[in-house]
Amino acid sequence: MELSTMNSRINELAKEVLDIEANSILRLKNSINESFDKAVEILYDCKGRVIITGMGKSGHIGRKIAATLSSTGTPSYFLHPAESTHGDSGIITKNDVIIAISNSGETQELMNLLPLIKRFGVKMIAMTGKIDSTLAHSSDIVLDISVEKEACPLNKAPTASTTATLAMGDALAVCLLEKRGFSEEDFLIFHPSGALGKGFLYKVEDLMLKENLPLAYENESFSDVIELISEKKLGMAMITNKEGLLTGVITDGDIRRTLIKYQNIRPLTAQDVMTRNPKNINKRDYGASALHLMEKYSITALAVVDEAGHPIGVIHIHDLLKAGVA
């Protein structure tokens, strides 16, 4: 087979795999029903930990789901089903909830664990592709993660089924996050390292420029504001009214657009050119919130205002970069 023909076949196969796996996730929408609601309630009301168990590829996915739940406010632990019958089941308490994962619902290691789970009398949620399986019949709640077929051409290797399982786990985690009112402060507690943690570690007041600010009044000449922006080197100026309240900003972009529009800029004042009602932020907001606004509105600097609306600082994307937030 020629190389070009082989590459074409490989590309088509890769696209087919993605289509199959994408469809397997979309089919899960049919499983978002009363059973899913009850599963969320059971997990939300859990006074202990969520113990997730599964064998083989299901076990790998179970570890990821446990990690996601733990990092978003639901204490979770992965229990290897083969090890559980050799002493590890001692971690299970009556206050816990079990999530058992098995596509077939007949995995022998899980079957060996069922008597122990029943003995503890804990609630069990099954994630399985066979709703008439032993695991399903032994569980309090069944979440259907069945797929039409695996992405593997032999329809053997767990591919689409593990993708669907992971997606269902994410759905549970996000719904629990929302139900718990998981906040930015909570993210800081569970993600103290890396850019995510730093985004919630630093407040705007920790990073903003507080002195020698690029401030101008509405009635100042546009030419003077250009000089101010050039001098301060922040790419913007904050415009205030007579009461000192922020009413607009002038950026490098505003300058370019004005120079294109007007042949004579001498008669222009700041209020003729400024962008009114500019995006701004409070000093007590998190650096991550400032980054979000900058990314959403494609801007590089934000005015920082107090509760009354007086400009008290500027936070620039470079400040976030230096702090490791962006």
| Number of Cα atoms under 13 Å in the Cβ half of residue 146 | 13
Count structural domains, the chain: 2
CB 110 within 8 A of CB 138: no
On whether both 161 and 285 belong to a single domain, the answer is no
Residue 73 confidence (pLDDT): 83
- Examine residue 27 and state whether it is found in any structural domain, yes or no: yes
Q: Which two tokens stand for residue 27?
A: 């089919």
Q: Which two tokens stand for residue 72?
A: 């978003």
Residue 184 has pLDDT above 80, yes or no: no
Q: Which domain holds residue 280?
A: 204-323
Residue 187 confidence (pLDDT): 61
Residue 4 has pLDDT above 90, yes or no: no
Looking at 15-19, 79-83, 134-138, which range is the least confident one? 79-83
- Rounded to whole angstroms, the Cα distance separating 315 from 300 reads 9
CATH number for the domain including 299?
3.10.580.10
| Residue of 250, 248, 245 lying closest to 230 (CA atoms) | 250
To which residue do tokens 């930990």 refer?
Answer: 49
User: pLDDT tens digits, residue range 267-316?
Assistant: 999 999 999 999 999 999 988 889 889 988 989 999 999 999 999 999 99
CATH number for the domain including 68?
3.40.50.10490
Q: Which two tokens stand for residue 64?
A: 């990821």
Beta-bridged to residue 79, according to DSSP, are: 53
- Examine residue 268 and state whether it is found in any structural domain, yes or no: yes
DSSP 195: H
On whether both 268 and 303 belong to a single domain, the answer is yes
User: pLDDT tens digits, residue range 38-89?
Assistant: 999 999 999 999 999 999 999 999 999 999 998 888 889 898 888 765 545 6
- Examine residue 298 and state whether it is found in any structural domain, yes or no: yes
Exposure b/e, 56-94, CB count within 10 A at least 16 = b: ebbbbbbbbbbebbbbbbbebbbbbbeebeeeebeebee
- Rounded to whole angstroms, the Cα distance separating 277 from 281 reads 12
Give the torsion sign (CA, 15, 21, 27, 29). negative
How far does CA 6 lie from the centroid of its chain?
A: 38
User: pLDDT tens digits, residue range 157-171?
Assistant: 889 999 999 999 999
**Amino acid residing at 77:** Y
Query: Within the chain, how many helices (H) and strands (E) appear?
Result: 15, 12
**Average confidence score pLDDT of the chain:** 89
